[in-house]
Amino acid sequence: MNHFEYRGGVLHAEEVPLDKIADEVGTPFYCYSTATLTRHYRVFAAALPKTALIAFSVKANGNLAVLKTLGNLGAGADVVSAGELKKALAAGIPAQRIVFSGVGKTKEEMRIALDAGIYQFNVEGEPELDALSEVAASLNAKAPVTLRVNPDVDAKTHAKINTGTAETKFGIPWSRAHAAYAHGAKLPGIEIVGVDVHIGSQITELAPFKAAFERVAGLIAELRSKGHRISRADLGGGLGVPYRLDNAPPPDPAAYGSVIAAATKHLDVQLILEPGRLIAANAGILVSRVIYVKPGESKVFLVLDAGMNDLIRPAMYDAHHDILPIREPQPNAPRQRYDVVGPVCETADLFARDRDLPEARGSDLMAIMTAGAYGSVMASAYNARPPAPEVLVHGQQWCVVRPRMTLEALFALDRVPGWLEH
Ligand SMILES: *Cc1c(COP(=O)(O)O)cnc(C)c1O
């Protein structure tokens, strides 16, 4: 479900025609819909108990305007660095709705988070427990901690985003969970408050979640019997979204909510969820212009002005993104198979292979759909290409919420050492 639809022959974001934004902002650009962000947040919240904390995963989309939109709805934030923490705070998300995940928190980051007074640390290993205790004790504080356990469940998703099997770097191995809790309980700067799990991303079946949550529920009962006070269960993020409109959709948030409810109903814990993709993916698109329609030996290439530096998901995760022309094609328009590529000097700079599309011409505008999560946040300036700017639409209003970087700004931080100057 999203708010990008054809109206009067032109793809709109809510009530704004995308060709109008393209004329004013230039291409490529990301465009986000407030209505879609809001709807996804509300549908997800409705599937959960009222006391649940929905901590939006900032790594999926860290634009301040997006964070503020969600924060105003009541969302918290799941952050994985001091930078994301500062962004969430800058967007007005209260520290008491912020949880800090990640496998490599530094002591400096811990200090910043303790000073801010965040809600909890999701700790991923014993050495991190020791470091956090040391930092907290030096501040005369106790850090509220859940331990991220690795339930050894295969989330059946792409290998690069599968995090819940035994041999990933994430979480505490299941066999060490009890020892880690016993260790944490003895540390002066640690207050154990719960259990945390996150098994991966773009998960399109409920069975792996069910298996993981049931294991967590069992662990909570065991930990309590050993005297640990467990008042929170952080169940991570990871529910998949439909990237292809022609495929069976992944389970909806309500079905996911009932799996959560069934696994946790007797536990008397506050639930914390960390959705990213689910909220933001279909709330954003990347709009790009065709530079050339280039005939090859046996293929035709659509060369876009957006590249893998703007959206790396196809190159990195073999991800599929639907591609729609901004100008609505006639139903009987001639069609053509294209390799849709970017201008970056890498063969991997390819958005779609052998994609059947309405025949395109140079300077046509195209929308790469479902680009609101893990899109702009992963952008780089490779090939000295300033990453695409970001636009947020709200009804008839729209605003550039991150402008295009100038070429001068792109290398303004480079420094030439003295020995090269004369
Ligand atoms: C990436 C991540 C999330 C968000 O995952 P989505 O698939 O975008 O919902 C949540 N929690 C942790 C710890 C993560 O690393």
- Active-site annotation holds for 345: yes
Q: Does domain 102-273 have CATH number 3.40.50.300?
A: no
Tally of CB atoms within 10 A around 45: 18
pLDDT tens digits along 353-401 = 999 999 999 999 999 999 999 999 999 999 999 999 999 999 999 999 9
Rounded to the nearest angstrom, the distance between the alpha carbon of 275 and the centre of ligand 1 is: 6
Q: Which residues pair with 391 in a beta bridge?
A: 31, 400
Of residues 255 and 161, more confidently modeled: 255
* Collapsed DSSP state (helix, strand, coil) of residue 377: helix
Secondary structure element (H or E) that encloses residue 233, with its range: strand 232-234
Q: How far apart are CA 283 and CA 70, in angstroms?
A: 12
Closest ligand 1 atom to the C-alpha of 374?
A: 8
Distance from C-alpha of 62 to C-alpha of 364, rounded to nearest angstrom:
29
pLDDT at 164 over 80: no
Domains 4-31+282-411 and 102-273 alike in fold: no
Q: What is the CA angle 38-43-48, rounded to 5?
A: 125
DSSP code at position 193: E
The answer to which of 27-31, 158-162, 323-327 has the lowest mean pLDDT is: 158-162
Give the pocket of ligand 1 (CB within 6 Å).
Answer: 57, 59-60, 78, 101, 198, 201, 236-238, 274-278, 373
Give the pairing of strands 365-368 and 284-295: antiparallel
Mutate to test the pocket of ligand 1, among 274, 278, 316, 370 (most ligand atoms within 8 A of CB): 274
* 202 Cα–ligand 1 center, Å: 9
Query: Which of the residues 248, 345, 416, 420 is marked catalytic?
Result: 345
Residue 162's pLDDT band, with cuts at 50, 70 and 90, is confident
CATH value of 4-31+282-411 in 3.30.2290.10, 1.10.10.10, 3.40.50.300, 2.40.37.10: 2.40.37.10
Q: Quote the ligand 1 centre to 84 CA distance (angstroms).
A: 13
Locate the domains of the chain by residue range: 4-31+282-411, 102-273
pLDDT digits (tens, 9 = 90+) for 240-287: 999 987 777 888 888 998 999 899 989 999 999 999 999 999 999 999
Taking only the tens place, the pLDDT of each residue in 208-225 is 999 999 999 999 999 999
